[in-house]
Amino acid sequence: MTSGGFLLRAAEPDDLDEVEALGALSADGGAVAFRIHTHVRAEGPGLTRSVGVVAVDEGDGTLVGSARMTLGRCWYEGAERSYAVLGSLVVHPEQRRRGIGAALGRWRIERAEQLVGADVVVLADIQKGNAGSLAAARRWASAFVGPSSSVPVPMRSRRVRPPRGLEIRAASPEQLPEIADRVTAATADCNFARVWTPSALRQWLEWAPTGIPVHHYRLAISPSGAVLAGLALRQEGLLRSMEVVRMPPAIRLANSVLHVVPRDGILRNIGVEHVWYLPGQERAAAALWEDTRWSFRDRGSGLLLTVDRRSPLRSVLGVRPWMPATSIMTAVRADPSPSPKRLIAPPE
């Protein structure tokens, strides 16, 4: 595909070095600006499909833009649907305002429809302050929902013991069917939540591209052996880290007290997703959360929780309004339009 003096084509393995060099030229345009440093180039566990595209200058053949999308299955308006999350959009600083970003967006949407069908739910998470990405999304989105908060939570320096009789431990293979059922019950009414099955969970947990498992599932167990709460973890720092290069004054002030961002500005996040608990078991969920902050203190700089601002999880997990956080709007292209009453949950 050609347009405006540049050529669009599917990304190839040989493009990786140029794509990473391009990303290093431009930090994310949101309120909190950061650069990504890749440590390990690894294929995912196979539960989603990643598709990349690059823009190449027709004159000298240099790479002037790149983007990716992730394809998978999620819950949307109470039904299981295919989704395409658009992300990793980068345009060379000297090549902006040529329509490259818009063209990369159109290419990915058209390819998503070819691969998984015209009814694919197209998503893009956009950080507050990223005017360029917001303008690009307005060209294709039918709605914007949110905001969600992406909250980095520091690890604990001291252990908080769980309530008497409550056991916190990793999930066993035998518990995966129950976990899949519990996650589905907790998230099927949310828009964009990933669809889990026991086999998908097993495949996800076994993924270890560096020899160390990237994913973990932790549970809170009652004295009788009942599973009361659970959460999934992604040890992102094994694969890549984030270098914070700019923070707004309010977040910088909060960080001076909470020390969420290390002095060197390098975040080795452990992503948190699909936190659930049985009715009335908020205390078990909170204990699971605090134990995770302690038990994983040597595996990452902090936990990263992305949660709908209306979600009760905010209070259960102790997320306070004054904690440093970035605000994220989700651009959506789907039929029907998303109901504003449904909570939203990121699919990955």
The predicted pLDDT at position 15 comes to 87
pTM over 0.85: yes
d(CA 132, CA 254): 27
CA proximity to 59, closest of 6, 100, 9: 6
**Structure tokens given for 149:** 């908060």
If asked whether residues 135 and 172 sit together in one domain, one would say no
d(CA 62, CA 59): 8
The predicted pLDDT at position 171 comes to 97
Helices (H), 261-312: 282-295
The predicted pLDDT at position 323 comes to 77
If asked whether residues 227 and 285 sit together in one domain, one would say yes
d(CA 75, CA 305): 20
If asked whether residues 136 and 160 sit together in one domain, one would say no
Q: Quick check: is 313 in a domain?
A: yes
d(CA 81, CA 251): 36
If asked whether residues 7 and 91 sit together in one domain, one would say yes
If asked whether residues 141 and 155 sit together in one domain, one would say no
If asked whether residues 267 and 127 sit together in one domain, one would say no
The predicted pLDDT at position 2 comes to 54
Q: 201, exposed or middle or buried, with CB in 10 Å at 0-12, 13-18, 19+? A: buried
If asked whether residues 193 and 99 sit together in one domain, one would say no
Taking each helix axis from N to C terminus, what angle separates 131-138 and 100-116, rounded to the nearest 10 degrees? 50
Q: How many domains does the chain have?
A: 2
pLDDT along the chain (348 residues), means of 10: 78 86 68 73 84 91 91 96 93 85 94 97 90 87 92 91 95 96 93 94 95 96 96 93 73 66 80 94 97 96 92 91 84 96 85
The predicted pLDDT at position 30 comes to 62
Question: Which helix H or strand E contains 186, and what residues bound it?
Answer: helix 176-187
If asked whether residues 137 and 215 sit together in one domain, one would say no
What CATH number is attached to the domain comprising 277?
3.40.630.30
The predicted pLDDT at position 206 comes to 96
Does residue 43 sit in helix, strand or coil? Answer: coil
If asked whether residues 130 and 175 sit together in one domain, one would say no
Q: Which domain holds residue 142?
A: 2-147
d(CA 282, CA 106): 43
